Structure 1
Amino acid sequence: MSQNRKRAAIILAAGQGTRMKSPLPKVLHRVAGRAMMDLAIDAAEGLDCERIVVVVGAHSPQVGDSARQRLGADNVVVQDPPLGTGHAVLAAKVALSDFEGQVVVSYADCPLIDTQTLKTVFDLADKADLAVLGFEAADPGAYGRLVIEGADNLSAIVEAKEATAQQLAIRACNSGVLAADRATLFSLLDEVRNDNAKGEYYLTDVVGIAKARGLKPKVCFVGEEDVTGVNSQVELAAAEAIWQSRCRKTLMLNGVTMPAPETVFLSWDTQIAPGVVVEPNVVFAEGVSVASGAVIRAFSHLEGACVAEGALIGPYARLRPGADIGKDVHIGNFVEVKNVRIGEGAKANHLSYLGDGEVGAKANIGAGTIFCNYDGYFKHRTVIGEGAFVGSNASLVAPVTVGAGAITGSGSVITKDVPADALAFERSLQTEKAGWAKAFRERRTAEKAAQKKG
Structure 2
Amino acid sequence: MTARPVAAVILAAGSGTRMKSDTHKVLHPIAGRPMLLHLVDTVAGLSPERTVVVVGARREQVEAAVAPHSVAMAHQAEQLGTGHAVAQAEAALAGFAGDVLILYGDVPLVSAETMRRMVERLHGADSPAAVVLGFRPADAGAYGRVIADADGRIAKMVEYKDASPEERAETLCNSGLMAVRSVDLFALLARVGNDNAAGEYYLPDIVMLAAGDGRASAVIETDAVEVTGVNSRAELAALEAQWQQARRARAMADGATLTAPETVWFAHDTAIGRDVTIEPNVVFGPGVSVADGVAIRAFSHIEGATIATGATVGPYARLRPGAVVGEGAHVGNFVEMKKAVLGKGAKANHLTYLGDTEVGAGANIGAGTITCNYDGFFKYRTQIGAGAFIGSNSALVAPVSIGDGAIVAAGSVVTQDVAADALALVRPPQTAKPGWAKRFRAMMTARKEAK
TM (norm. structure 2) is: 0.97
Q: 2:86 is matched with which residue?
A: 89
Matched residue SS, 1:335: strand
What SS does the corresponding residue of 1:275 show, helix, strand or coil? coil
- Cα distance, 1:69 vs structure 2: 4.3
- Asked whether the equivalents of residues 118 and 220 of structure 2 are also in contact (C-alpha less than 8 Å), the reply is yes
SS in 1 for 2:166: helix
The one-letter amino acid of 1:374's match is Y
Partner of 1:48: 47
Provide the identity percentage. 53
- Residue 110 in structure 1 maps to residue 107 in structure 2: yes
Cα distance in 1, alignment partners of residues 194 and 48 from structure 2: 31
The CA deviation string for residues 286-308 of structure 1, in whole angstroms up to 9 with x for no partner, is 10000000111100000100000
State whether residues 287 and 305 of structure 1, in contact with CA within 8 Å, keep that contact through their aligned partners in structure 2: yes
In structure 2, the residue matched to 1:403 is: 403
Partners of 2:441 and 2:208 lie apart in 1 by 95
Which residue number in structure 2 is paired with residue 57 of structure 1? 56
State the Cα deviation string for residues 6-58 of structure 1 (Å, max 9, x = none). Answer: 11100000011000011111111111111111111111112222211000005
2:218 counterpart SS class: strand
Q: Is the 8 A contact 1:68 1:76 kept in 2?
A: no
| Whole-Å separation in 2 of the counterparts to 1:114 and 1:31 | 15
Aligned mates of 1:433, 1:123 — CA distance in 2: 89
Paired position in structure 2 for 1:37: 36
CA contact (8 A) 1:17 1:26 kept: yes
Q: Residue 144 of structure 1 corresponds to which residue in structure 2? A: 144
Structure 2 residue matching 1:340: 3-state secondary structure: strand
Deviation at 1:390, TM superposition (A): 0.6
CA contact (8 A) 1:57 1:79 kept: yes
The answer for the alignment partner of 1:372 in structure 2 is 372
Unaligned runs of 5+ in 1: none
Distance in 1 between residues matched to 2:111 and 2:149, nearest whole Å: 28
Q: Please name the residue that 2:319 is paired with.
A: 319
Structure 2 CA distance, aligned partners of 1:65 and 1:190? 31
Tell me the equivalent position of 1:381.
Answer: 381
Opposite residue 102 of structure 1, the aligned amino acid is D
What's the offset of the Cα at 1:375? Answer: 1.2
Alignment of 1:224-373 (within 5 A): 224-373=224-373
Secondary structure at the counterpart of residue 71 of structure 1: coil
Distance across 1 between alignment mates of 2:353 and 2:134: 53
CA distance in 1: counterparts of 2:303 and 2:143, whole angstroms: 39
How far off is 1:59 after superposition? 4.6
- Residue 68 of structure 1 and its aligned partner are, at CA, apart by 3.6
Q: How far apart in 2 are the matches of 1:258 and 1:279?
A: 6
Distance 2:231 2:312 in 1: 41
Contact between 2:14 and 2:57, CA under 8 Å: does it hold in 1? no
**Structural mapping, 1:149-160, within 5 Å:** 149-160=149-160
- Aligned twin of 1:9: 8
> Which amino acid in structure 2 is aligned with residue 18 of structure 1?
T
What amino acid is the match of 2:320?
R
1: CA distance, partners of 2:75 / 2:93: 14
SS at match of 1:179: strand
Question: 1:320 corresponds to which letter in structure 2?
Answer: R
The count of residues paired between Structure 1 and Structure 2 equals 448
Larger deviation, residues 154-163 vs 59-68? 59-68
Tell me, what secondary structure is at the counterpart of 2:106? coil
* Partner deviation per Cα, 1:383-411 (whole Å, 9 max, x = no partner): 00000111111111111111001101000
Per-residue deviation, residues 107-137 of structure 1 (Å, max 9, x unmatched):
0001222322322322222213311000012
The answer (yes or no) to whether the contact 1:153–1:219 under 8 Å persists in 2 is yes
Question: 8 Å contact 2:129–2:207 — kept in the other structure?
Answer: no
Instruction: Read off the aligned partner of 1:85 and give its amino acid letter.
Output: T
**CA distance in structure 1 between the aligned counterparts of 2:184 and 2:79, rounded to whole angstroms:** 23
Give distance in 1, aligned partners of 2:247 and 2:158: 35
CA drift at 1:71: 3.1
Residue of structure 2 in register with 1:119 after alignment: 116
Displacement after TM superposition at 1:223 (Å) = 0.8
| Contact residue 5 and residue 99 of structure 2 kept, 8 A | yes
Query: 1:318 offset after TM fit, Å?
Result: 0.4
1:191-202, aligned counterparts within 5 Å? 191-202=191-202
How far apart are 1:67 and its partner, in Å?
2.9
**Does structure 1 conserve the Cα–Cα contact (< 8 Å) formed by 2:100 and 2:180?**
yes
Structure 1 range deviating more: 194-203 or 357-366: 194-203
2: CA distance between counterparts of 1:378 and 1:433?
A: 43
Equivalent AA in structure 1 for residue 66 of structure 2: A
**Distance of aligned partners of 1:423 and 1:68 in 2 relative to their CA distance in 1, 3 Å threshold:** closer
Match of 1:84, as an amino acid?
A: G
Return the offset for 1:357.
1.7
CA distance in 2, matches of 1:163, 1:380: 67
Deviations 1:148-194 (A, max 9, x none): 12221111111112212211111100000000111112221111112
- The CA distance in 2 between the partners of 1:200 and 1:162, in whole Å, is 12
Write out aligned runs for 1:185-224 (5 A).
Answer: 185-224=185-224
Counterpart CA distance in 2 for 1:403 and 1:60 is 54
* SS of residue matched to 1:61: helix
Shift of 1:265: 0.6
Q: Residue by residue, what CA displacement relative to the aligned partner does 1:76-133 show, whole Å, maximum 9, x if unpaired?
A: 0101122110011011111111211111000000122232232232222221331100
Q: Give the whole-Å Cα distance in 2 for the aligned partners of 1:342 and 1:3.
A: 49
Structure 1: distance between partners of 2:120 and 2:249 = 27
Stretch deviating more after TM superposition (97-106 or 439-448): 439-448
| Aligned position for 1:412 | 412
- TM-score by length of structure 1 reads 0.96
- CA distance in structure 1 between the aligned counterparts of 2:401 and 2:105, rounded to whole angstroms: 50
C-alpha distance in 2 between matches for 1:58 and 1:228: 22
